[in-house]
Amino acid sequence: MQIAAEVPQQVITGEIGRTLAEMELGCPPAVTRALYGALGGGELGYLAAADVAQLQDAVGGWLADAYGWEPQRAAIRPVSDLVAGFRAVLTHLLPAGQPIIVPTPGYMPFISMPGQIDHPVIEVPMLRDAGGWHYDFEALRAAFAAGARLLVLCNPHNPIGKVATAAELDRIEELVAEYDGIVFSDEIHAPLVLGERQHTVYAARSARAAAHTITATSATKAFNIPGTKCGQLVFTNPDHLARWLEIGHWHEHQTSVLGVVATSAAYGGGREWLAETVAYLRGTIAEAVALLDAAAARTGIRVIRPDATYLLWLDLSETALLRDDVSAAQAVREAAGLVVTDGSECGAAGRGAVRFNAALPRPVTLEAMRRLIAAAESAGTQRAHTNRG
């Protein structure tokens, strides 16, 4: 990819970043060609049975090739996006008023949306040490004991970029089975693994895991096509599937037929593009983290290199950037000209942190990190002068 050469550092001006998880790196040419062809052919109607079948074949083929997982084609159901599918699952497959469990920092809608439909959220903060992020299993057990039934498993984890280990998935499975729970497994960032740890489909691990899981997947993040509005829920419990087939029509109806076209083209003709993009992101993330680590003693900025995604979780709690009168995101925007997601939107565990989307041309991401470092150093110097004064 020739992205880096297109943005000389001297022309990087103005604010950098975006709050949404999407890339500024284009999308596969196969997708663009397919969409042009669909438009030329007037494929702008509602989703039809043939479109659903096409989607099921495309997604099923991808899951088999990428992860060795072969769910029943008929169990792959279209939804407009992850959040719409999540909301539908909570509404129709969970008793009203029952709490759900979200490990935090968590994806923002997992925190904010359930309460709007009478499902309180029990936040379970992740544990962090020098080795990375870890699940707090005692806290998860306590949440189930308090009446929760559904656990949101975001793997790879947005916003911290963690890929769960096999041992962690084993313990989650045992715990969920013990409490006769349900796992909503958000795996839409699975193609964006950057490190050595490979993604494992949770529901594919055992018959017991499959029986208590609803899996959310999509081509939208990895192939950068979120605006085409096409996600999927994969049902591996026959009772869950039967219930969905009773109530799911209008949820499926919101899916875009152009999303089916884009998804099919991405999985069928975008794999080389994906491999190049992941390699590019891997290099960008590595250089960005190296810059932050080298300056950590001076700035107080803490970052754990993500296993996956293109998101950097930046802990600013030990910096001089934070102020009582504004959010961490606003402080960063004012001091460094960066547009980020405030960590508090990801749960109480995210206070004092921000999520930075690094899926930008590499010189732009690195300029953003330099700005943040300079702003933190300047704020530290000002605080030191004030304290001496």
pLDDT, tens only, 14-49: 999 999 999 999 999 999 999 999 999 999 999 999
pLDDT tens figures, 181-234: 999 999 999 999 998 889 999 999 999 999 999 999 999 999 999 999 999 999
pLDDT band, very low/low/confident/very high, at 2 (cuts 50, 70, 90) = low
Write the class of the CATH domain 29-270: alpha beta
Q: What is the CA radius of gyration of the chain?
A: 21
What does pTM read for this prediction? 0.96
The full DSSP string for 208-231 is HHHHTEEEEE-STTTTT-GGG--E
CA distance 76 to 241: 9
Instruction: Say what the pLDDT of residue 10 is.
Output: 58
Question: Mean pLDDT across the stretch 156-180?
Answer: 98
**N- to C-terminal Cα separation, the chain:** 52
Cα–Cα separations (whole angstroms), residue 355 to 14, 109, 314: 19, 14, 6
Band (381; pLDDT cuts 50, 70, 90):
confident
Coil, strand, or helix at residue 99? coil
pLDDT band at 112 (very low <50, low <70, confident <90, very high): very high
Percent of the chain clearing pLDDT 90 (strictly above) = 93
- Note whether 105 and 126 are within 8 A (CB): yes
What's the pLDDT band for 8 if we cut at 50, 70, 90? low
Q: How many CB atoms lie within 10 A of CB 343?
A: 26
In this predicted structure, the answer to whether residue 116 has a pLDDT above a threshold of 70 is yes
What's the mean pLDDT in 265-294? 98
> In the prediction, which pLDDT does 340 show?
98
Per-residue pLDDT reduced to its tens digit, 339-351: 999 999 999 999 9
Give yes or no for residue 268 having a pLDDT over 50. Answer: yes
Query: Which whole number is the average pLDDT over 90-104?
Result: 97
Q: Is the peptide bond before 156 cis (omega within 30 degrees of 0)?
A: yes
pLDDT of residue 5: 46
Q: What is the largest CA-CA distance in the chain?
A: 73
Q: Are 199 and 222 in contact (CB under 8 A)?
A: no
| pLDDT higher than threshold 70 for residue 385 | no
Averaged pLDDT for residues 291-309: 97
pLDDT(6) > 80: no
Pick from 114, 182, 159: which is nearest to 307 by CA?
159
Fold match, 4-26+272-388 / 29-270 = no
Residue 134 pLDDT greater than 50, yes or no: yes
Residue ranges of domains in the chain = 4-26+272-388, 29-270
pLDDT given at position 313? 98
In the predicted model, what is the mean pLDDT of the chain? 95
Q: Which CATH number fits domain 4-26+272-388: 3.40.50.9100, 3.90.1150.10, 3.30.360.10, 2.60.40.10?
A: 3.90.1150.10
Distances (CA, A) of 354 to 236, 311, 345, 346: 35, 10, 9, 9
Would the pLDDT of 378 be above 90?
yes
What local confidence, expressed as pLDDT, does residue 196 receive? 85
Rounded (5°) CA angle 30-34-38: 175
Using the predicted structure, report yes or no on whether residue 316 has a pLDDT greater than 60. yes
